[in-house]
Amino acid sequence: MKILVTGGAGFIGSPVVRNSNNIRHTVVNEVKLSTLNQLVFHVEIKNNHKYYFKYVAVCDKMIMCHILASHKLDTVKCLAAKSYVELPISGSAALIERV
Q: Which residues in 21-47 are b (16+ Cβ under 10 Å) and which e? A: beeebbbbbbbbeeeebeeebbeebee
In this predicted structure, what is the pLDDT of residue 2? 92
Cα separation of 69 and 86, whole Å? 37
Cα separation of 27 and 79, whole Å? 14
Strand partners, 58: none
Average model confidence (pLDDT) for the chain?
78
Q: What is the pLDDT of residues 57-93, one digit of tens each?
A: 777 889 888 988 999 999 999 888 766 555 555 566 6
The pTM of this model reads 0.73
In this predicted structure, what is the pLDDT of residue 14? 84
Of the two residues 98 and 48, the one the predictor is more confident about is 48
Cα separation of 42 and 32, whole Å? 14
